């Protein structure tokens, strides 16, 4: 190459535009960076409104005047989610219970008590009626346990071979107490980060079935309705509860990256404090997964004022859904918008948002 030759075209930056795709990829539904970009660059600008721009787990609306609020005005939260999990039945759950838990939890993460849900079914021609009945029974039981009614719905049937058995969409509504303000922008320097138990159980339960893995202890999904844990915090320390988030697709890492970005604050995680069962740890090592990115369906992250964090921890540990709760990190003024993990040997590493699709079709 002569002195006048230009530098190679790929020098200085990656030539692969990882975020620009002419076709939808599986990763666009994975809950990571591509999902976030799809939402922020396509959906939010298209449907432009201040409620959607909050990018919360659900929308919070005043009952009398849309997004406008006045003191004492009743507010509701509502959220929608679609469930395409494969397989339909997995250890500890199925698509029916998952469709209830996923949506009532999104409502609960707004600080609202779930009241009712809708259920829309897309069925494939030829799907076994007995399996459909099992799914419906499971939804009924999950709704009863969560304290919600299934009050409306819809059914469509697609041609054989054009679906995957059954897909379910659920939409939930709930009421917020006066004064409750839960927002992903609410994290402040010094706040503590709590989680209610071991991470990555749902994703690994699904993958163990798909991959035919067997362990000494049966791995089951953690799928559960989480409002009882939210209620404990709202009853006892409502003014010190900043942020709630259920780390589903994209796992704990992606959920905390979203919060760090929206709050413009740093997050420091302590690896030794993050609950993780030995079975899930072993499965992640076999499958090559980082458990921080594996989906949960019964876990809640709460960001709490530092001086009330220990009290919140004891409250959660008094409930069966939070028996293994832990304080796993804090909000810091270093590295705003980023998540950093302090490893068990004291090193620091950046925990970025999931870029691709680690586990497709897990919810």
For the stretch 5-58, pLDDT in tens is 433 333 344 444 455 678 888 888 877 888 888 898 899 999 999 999 888 889
Look at residue 216 and give its three-state secondary structure. Answer: coil
d(CA 356, CA 33): 7
DSSP codes, 81-148: EEE--SSSEETTEEHHHHHHHHHHHHHHTTTEEEEEEEEEEEEETT--HHHHHHHHHHHHHHHHHHT-
Sequence-distant (≥ 6) Cβ neighbours of residue 308 within 8 angstroms: 237, 240
Q: What is the pLDDT of residue 34?
A: 87
In this predicted structure, which of 31-40, 83-92, 283-292 has the lowest mean pLDDT? 31-40
Q: What is the pLDDT of residue 340?
A: 97
Q: What is the pLDDT of residue 10?
A: 35
At residue 71, does pLDDT exceed 70?
A: no
Lookup: tokens for 204: 């690994």
Backbone angles phi, psi at 350, to 5 degrees: -75, 135
In this predicted structure, which of 1-5, 43-47, 153-157, 236-240 has the lowest mean pLDDT? 1-5
DSSP codes, 170-201: EEEEEEEPTT----TT---TT-EEEE-S-SSH
The average pLDDT across 246-259 equals 95
Q: What is the pLDDT of residue 362?
A: 87
Q: How confident is the model at residue 200 (pLDDT cuts 50, 70, 90)?
A: very high
d(CA 30, CA 15): 23
Residue 238 neighbours by CB distance under 10 Å: 14
Characterize the bridge pairing of strands 93-94 and 89-90: antiparallel
d(CA 107, CA 97): 16
The average pLDDT across 334-343 equals 96
> In which element (H, E) is residue 286 found?
helix 278-287
The average pLDDT across 164-187 equals 94
The percent of residues in the chain predicted with pLDDT above 90, rounded, is 74
At residue 154, does pLDDT exceed 90?
A: yes
The average pLDDT across 167-187 equals 94
201-211 and 278-287 helices cross at what angle (nearest 10)? Answer: 50
d(CA 55, CA 285): 33
The average pLDDT across 152-179 equals 96
Q: How far is CA 165 from the centre of its chain?
A: 24
The average pLDDT across 133-142 equals 98
Q: How confident is the model at residue 355 (pLDDT cuts 50, 70, 90)?
A: confident
The percent of residues in the chain predicted with pLDDT above 70, rounded, is 91
At residue 82, does pLDDT exceed 50?
A: yes
């Amino acid at each position: 190459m002569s002195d006048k030759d230009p530098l190679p075209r790929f020098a200085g930056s990656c030539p692969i535009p990882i975020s620009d795709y002419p076709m939808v990829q599986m990763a666009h539904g994975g809950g990571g960076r591509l999902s976030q970009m799809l939402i922020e660059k396509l959906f939010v600008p298209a449907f432009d409104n201040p409620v959607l721009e909050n990018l919360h787990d659900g929308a919070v609306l005043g009952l009398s005047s849309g997004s406008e609020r006045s003191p004492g005005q009743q507010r509701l939260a509502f959220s929608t989610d679609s469930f395409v999990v494969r397989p339909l039945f997995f250890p500890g759950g199925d698509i029916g219970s998952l469709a209830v838990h996923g949506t009532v939890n999104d409502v609960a993460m707004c600080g609202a008590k779930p009241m009712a849900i809708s259920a829309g079914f897309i069925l494939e021609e030829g799907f076994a009626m007995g399996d459909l009945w099992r799914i419906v029974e499971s939804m009924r039981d999950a709704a009863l346990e969560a304290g919600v009614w299934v009050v409306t719905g819809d059914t469509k049937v697609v041609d054989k071979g054009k679906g995957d058995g059954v897909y379910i969409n659920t939409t939930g509504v709930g009421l917020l107490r006066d004064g409750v303000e839960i927002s992903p922008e609410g994290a402040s320097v010094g706040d503590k980060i709590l989680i209610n138990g071991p991470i990555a159980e749902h994703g690994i339960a699904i993958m163990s079935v798909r991959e035919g893995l067997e362990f000494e202890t049966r791995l089951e999904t953690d799928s559960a309705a989480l409002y009882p844990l939210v209620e404990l915090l709202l009853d006892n320390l409502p003014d010190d509860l900043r942020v709630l988030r259920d780390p589903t697709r994209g796992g704990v890492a992606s959920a905390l990256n979203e919060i760090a970005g929206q709050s413009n604050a740093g997050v420091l995680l302590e690896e030794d404090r993050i609950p993780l069962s030995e079975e899930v740890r072993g499965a992640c090592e076999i499958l090559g997964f980082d458990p921080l990115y594996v989906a949960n369906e019964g876990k809640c992250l709460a960001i709490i004022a530092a001086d009330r964090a220990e009290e919140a921890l004891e409250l959660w540990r008094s409930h069966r859904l939070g028996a293994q709760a832990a304080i796993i990190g804090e909000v810091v003024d270093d590295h705003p918008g980023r998540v950093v993990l302090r490893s068990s040997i004291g090193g620091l590493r950046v925990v970025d948002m999931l870029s691709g699709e680690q586990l497709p079709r897990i919810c």
